A and B are shown apart, each in its own frame.
Chain A
Amino acid sequence: MHNPLSRRLALPVVLALAVMLLASGTIAGAPMRSSWDARACGRIGGTLVFGQAQDAVGLDPADVEDGFSVNNTSNVFDTLVRFSAQGTQVEPSLAESWTVSPDGLVWTFKLRRGVRFHDGTPLDAKAVEFSFLRQFDKKNPYHQGTFAYAEFTLESVKSIQAVGTDSIRFTLKSANASFIAMLAMFSNAVSSPTAIRKYGKDYFKHPTGTGPFKFVEWVQKDHATYEANKEYWGGRPCVDRLIIRGIPDNTVRLLEMEKGSIQIMDQVNPPDYARIRGNSALTLFTGPGLNVGYVAMNVGKEPFNDVRIRRALNYAVNKPALVRAFYGGIAAPAVNPMPPTIWGYNHSVQPYEYSVAKAKQLLAEAGYPNGFSTELYWPNRARPYLTQPQKIAEALQSQLAQAGIRAKLVTFEWGTYLSKTRNGEHPMAILGWIGDNGDPDNFLYVLLDKDNTTVGKASNIAFYKSNAVHDLLIKAQQVTDQAQRAKYYEQAQVVIHNDAPWVPLVYGARVAAYRKQVQNFSLHPLQIFWLYRVWLNP
């Protein structure tokens, strides 16, 4: 996971930062080379076909929510800042550098010069302002869509304004340290103002960005075709054409790859890992993921209002057995509510070990010597953190039964499931979270802060309301110093561990497979398929 280049650059960056800090009294991101540039093409040319489980829903990066669409838009568009090639550190992209006012409220980004959109429109401050305002300003005439992610990523923004021809300024309502990571997210990609004006509501079928691939054609629910942007400011992509196909059935997708009609695929069934490993033409890619799967206990309901009961459940679940049986052995048993791939993870927290005896003892202490009956809600939809939902739910049911907890399994179709758990109808529910931007706030605040326990809209579905945790998480939002923020998050994880509102289950792995001719491919921890540095052997 570690990228040698970023380490080599670390010192000059820190020095440059220090110099700027002294010179201007502001915190600044210095101009630096990107970790993506280091990955040169071994060969130019060819057509790369990537098969994923669904075709895109739309191609307007600001107005999509699903990962399949994002795998398309992320190859066509750039953001002001971007995540590093192998991690979630934020680097310059369309913005060469940026400054933050001492109070953390005003962020000014200086744009790269000479960049053009695929339709020839020059990228300048006005274009960037236009692109952001259409998703941010609800009265904007081009605000014609859902723009769901803007609600979340630009939530702390008060105003957005072009400064001169080559700078863009964001003024925040309150200091928000994770703002820079939000800007790197796919939805804040910059679109051509000319194309937006030209296509209006149909812009989602005519994506026009500045990125490494140019849009050619989209046959909905089938495939999209892109060609190399040979004038790309970051250097042309290695392949000439990129095709992204939607092939819903996992087995059929694998057969297509074995035949060679696609070269990369997502979402491999765990039982197929062995088949891929046994095929000399294929490679299975695995790496730690940026997600967590968990059982939330509704602390507002008896008997889960008793911490002893919640700890008893933590002792009763055998996580390594789940990982072996249902994740092809490549996930990791979870300890904290966020994965260790994120900074701020507390490595000193010791997991509750698997011990039916301890679970029974705690149940007896809490007044349930013979256990109790309850319900376990489970979502009938495979996710990276929940590869085989029904089997995992059944395994949990039998593990809990050994400690005397008789859980009836309850499920609903995904949309209904989300509603019911947000309403807090469940005593216990299995759910998970896939990180958006590699910031601890994106896990801990969203999933376990008392601010997010409003019935009907709760994302904290344990309805866990700890003032101690809340104070730490709010403080961590307000300071910009990452080391200090990390300390707050580490403390919060200790409190959460002791209060045990969840049984953290697993950190799901990120998995993909590809043909051996594919070079320089790695699936980003955010599980977005950035393909512009991939090249093909003949």
Chain B
Amino acid sequence: MGRYLARRLVELVPVAFGVLLVVFAISHLTPGDPVLIALGEHATPEAIDHLRAELQLNDPLPIQFGKYLGRALRGDLGRSIQNNEEVTEELRNRFPATIELTVAAMLIASAVGVLTGVIAAARQNSWFDGASMVVALFGFSMPIFWLGIMLILLFAWYLGWFPISGRLDYTVEITRVTNLYIVDAILTRNWPALENALRHLVLPAVTLATVPLAIIARMTRSSLLEVLRQDYVRTARAKGLTERRVVSRHALKNAFIPVITVIGLNVGALLGGAILTETIFAWPGVGRLVVDAIFARDYPLVQGVVLVIALVFVLVNLLVDVSYAVLDPRIRYG
């Protein structure tokens, strides 16, 4: 297992290189000029020339890439074209917001999705099964921005249970350690901030969780149904075990492997899907950051964000692979 992990971690290097190369190429070859966008409707010819030189956009692309790579290896991802902020600093500030949102959404989606799927499978063709799968289909096809606004209208605007938008009230003081507000609040024992941060998190996390929740619920159901038809389940039933015990002790663990795979893949989708949720809820995360950066052709920032998202995605799926071995003793890595 140790060697396997080491190999997989080493494999991250070519992945990172590939991501950098592809993102660099795509962003630089996309029509649209960062200089023109920065100068907007006001660009004079002199200003355009000057700024292009300042941003070193006159070098041939391979040379630009080489320089970028050299700096990236030293941990310097450059500075944002838009505001001069160091890309690493920007990531340090913003990624935690997205991680908080994604983890919360993933927890909701996994817990509720698995539970729904298990109940639906255990009581196949019951009213719960039918209803939950229709709801899941509905959740899967719902436009996120519409759902988000509806949740805001009902739970924040009308009932007033949650704040409408934002990550923390400006009246709440918080000491930023990790920039994961919930962790920071716990670390500094700042209970009012914890409560405030959690209330802000609920609606966006539920919104973001909807689509993966639906997928996970359906996946769990079908996977479990398949396992329940296996011989060893029949044996377990024949031994006289209760249905509850059959499902929880014997079937569930095996049914989980495809579910875990789906969860892992969805983390990537969530990091990307957070863009809409972050926009609706004014959530200061990396999704909005990368969209703004793309529209501004802020090359260093786009590259930095995509690199980190790609690495997180690869790491999460490594975790998924490792969990296979934990769930199924027959799977061994060597």
Given the interface pairs A220-B94, A252-B165, A457-B45, the reply to whether A144 lies near B282 with Cβ below 8 Å is no
Contact B41 A151 (CB under 8 A): no
* A272–B54 CA distance with the chains assembled, in angstroms: 43
Contact B279 A255 (CB under 8 A): no
* A419–B163 CA distance with the chains assembled, in angstroms: 41
Given the interface pairs A65-B40, A246-B282, A259-B164, the reply to whether A419 lies near B31 with Cβ below 8 Å is yes
- For residue A6, give the distance in angstroms from its CB to the closest CB of chain B: 28
* A149–B170 CA distance with the chains assembled, in angstroms: 32
Given the interface pairs A252-B152, A459-B43, the reply to whether A247 lies near B165 with Cβ below 8 Å is yes
Q: Does B305 contact A (CB under 8 A)?
A: no
* A251–B152 CA distance with the chains assembled, in angstroms: 10
Q: Does B221 contact A (CB under 8 A)?
A: no
* A219–B173 CA distance with the chains assembled, in angstroms: 12
Contact B46 A151 (CB under 8 A): yes
Contact A258 B36 (CB under 8 A): no
Q: Does A415 contact B (CB under 8 A)?
A: yes
Given the interface pairs A243-B170, A433-B41, the reply to whether A151 lies near B47 with Cβ below 8 Å is yes
List residues 92-140 of chain B with CB under 8 A from any CB of chain A.
93-94
Contact A204 B85 (CB under 8 A): yes
Binding stretch for chain B, among A221-229, A275-283, A464-472 = A221-229
Chain B neighbourhood of A222, CB < 8 A: 166-167, 282, 284
Q: Does B20 contact A (CB under 8 A)?
A: no
User: Who on chain B is nearest to A217 by CB?
Assistant: B170
Return the contact of A201 from the options B47, B84, B170, B281 (Cβ within 8 A): B84
Contact A220 B282 (CB under 8 A): no
List residues 433-447 of chain A with CB under 8 A from any CB of chain B.
433-434, 436, 446
Q: Does A454 contact B (CB under 8 A)?
A: yes
* A245–B40 CA distance with the chains assembled, in angstroms: 24
Return the contact of A220 from the options B30, B279, B284, B295 (Cβ within 8 A): B284
* A140–B25 CA distance with the chains assembled, in angstroms: 33
Contact B43 A221 (CB under 8 A): no
Given the interface pairs A155-B44, A249-B280, A255-B164, the reply to whether A415 lies near B32 with Cβ below 8 Å is yes
Q: Does A235 contact B (CB under 8 A)?
A: no
Chain A neighbourhood of B167, CB < 8 A: 222
Contact pattern, B 137-158, Cβ under 8 Å of A = 1, otherwise 0: 0000000010001001100110
Chain B neighbourhood of A57, CB < 8 A: 82-83
Chain A neighbourhood of B31, CB < 8 A: 412, 415-416, 419-420
Contact A419 B36 (CB under 8 A): yes
Q: Please, how many residues of chain B have a CB less than 8 angstroms from a CB on the other chain? A: 55
User: Who on chain A is nearest to B51 by CB?
Assistant: A146
Given the interface pairs A58-B83, A64-B83, the reply to whether A459 lies near B38 with Cβ below 8 Å is no
Contact B83 A252 (CB under 8 A): no
Contact B282 A413 (CB under 8 A): no
Contact B94 A256 (CB under 8 A): no
Chain A neighbourhood of B40, CB < 8 A: 65, 148, 418
- For residue B89, give the distance in angstroms from its CB to the closest CB of chain A: 9
Chain B neighbourhood of A418, CB < 8 A: 32-33, 36-37, 40-41
Chain B neighbourhood of A454, CB < 8 A: 45
List residues 51-92 of chain A with CB under 8 A from any CB of chain B.
54-55, 57-58, 63-65
Contact pattern, B 278-304, Cβ under 8 Å of A = 1, otherwise 0: 011110110011001001110000000
List residues 276-334 of chain B with CB under 8 A from any CB of chain A.
279-282, 284-285, 288-289, 292, 295-297
Q: Does A308 contact B (CB under 8 A)?
A: no
Given the interface pairs A248-B282, A249-B280, A436-B42, the reply to whether A413 lies near B51 with Cβ below 8 Å is no
Contact pattern, B 209-244, Cβ under 8 Å of A = 1, otherwise 0: 000000000000000000000000000000000000
Return the contact of B79 from the options A64, A201, A416 (Cβ within 8 A): A201
Q: Does B202 contact A (CB under 8 A)?
A: no
Given the interface pairs A220-B93, A223-B170, A419-B36, the reply to whether A252 lies near B282 with Cβ below 8 Å is yes
User: Who on chain A is nearest to B50 by CB?
Assistant: A151
- For residue B92, give the distance in angstroms from its CB to the closest CB of chain A: 11
Contact pattern, B 30-73, Cβ under 8 Å of A = 1, otherwise 0: 11111011111111111110110010000000000000000000
Contact B282 A247 (CB under 8 A): yes
Chain A neighbourhood of B38, CB < 8 A: 65, 146, 148
Return the contact of A413 from the options B34, B39, B295 (Cβ within 8 A): B295
Contact pattern, A 86-111, Cβ under 8 Å of B = 1, otherwise 0: 00000000000000000000000000
- For residue A173, give the distance in angstroms from its CB to the closest CB of chain B: 12
Chain A neighbourhood of B156, CB < 8 A: 255, 259
Return the contact of B51 from the options A148, A205, A259 (Cβ within 8 A): A148
Contact A149 B33 (CB under 8 A): no
Contact A146 B280 (CB under 8 A): no
Chain B neighbourhood of A482, CB < 8 A: none
Chain B neighbourhood of A230, CB < 8 A: none
Contact A415 B48 (CB under 8 A): no
Chain A neighbourhood of B54, CB < 8 A: 146
- For residue B40, give the distance in angstroms from its CB to the closest CB of chain A: 6
Contact A457 B165 (CB under 8 A): no
Q: Does A39 contact B (CB under 8 A)?
A: no
User: Who on chain A is nearest to B45 by CB?
Assistant: A457
Contact B157 A255 (CB under 8 A): yes
Q: Does A261 contact B (CB under 8 A)?
A: yes
Chain B neighbourhood of A258, CB < 8 A: 157
Contact A459 B279 (CB under 8 A): no
Chain A neighbourhood of B284, CB < 8 A: 55, 219-222
Given the interface pairs A204-B84, A219-B284, A459-B43, the reply to whether A415 lies near B149 with Cβ below 8 Å is no
- For residue A534, give the distance in angstroms from its CB to the closest CB of chain B: 18
User: Who on chain A is nearest to B167 by CB?
Assistant: A222
* A129–B296 CA distance with the chains assembled, in angstroms: 32
Chain A neighbourhood of B81, CB < 8 A: 146
* A246–B283 CA distance with the chains assembled, in angstroms: 9
* A444–B37 CA distance with the chains assembled, in angstroms: 22
Given the interface pairs A252-B165, A259-B157, the reply to whether A145 lies near B84 with Cβ below 8 Å is yes
Chain B neighbourhood of A151, CB < 8 A: 39, 44, 46-47, 50-51
User: Who on chain B is nearest to A433 by CB?
Assistant: B41
List 7 A-B pairs, minimum CB-CB distance, nearest first: A415-B32, A151-B47, A58-B83, A221-B284, A222-B284, A416-B32, A247-B282
Q: Which residues of B contact A (CB under 8 A)?
A: 30-34, 36-48, 50-51, 54, 79, 81-85, 90, 93-94, 145, 149, 152-153, 156-157, 160, 163-167, 170, 279-282, 284-285, 288-289, 292, 295-297
5 further interface pairs, Cβ-Cβ under 8 Å (given A222-B166, A418-B33, A418-B37) = A220-B94, A221-B284, A414-B37, A416-B31, A419-B36
- 27 A-B pairs whose Cβ atoms sit less than 8 Å apart in the complex: A57-B83, A65-B42, A151-B39, A152-B47, A201-B79, A204-B83, A204-B84, A204-B85, A220-B93, A221-B94, A222-B166, A222-B282, A223-B170, A247-B166, A249-B145, A252-B152, A252-B164, A412-B31, A415-B31, A416-B30, A418-B40, A422-B43, A431-B41, A433-B41, A457-B43, A457-B44, A459-B43
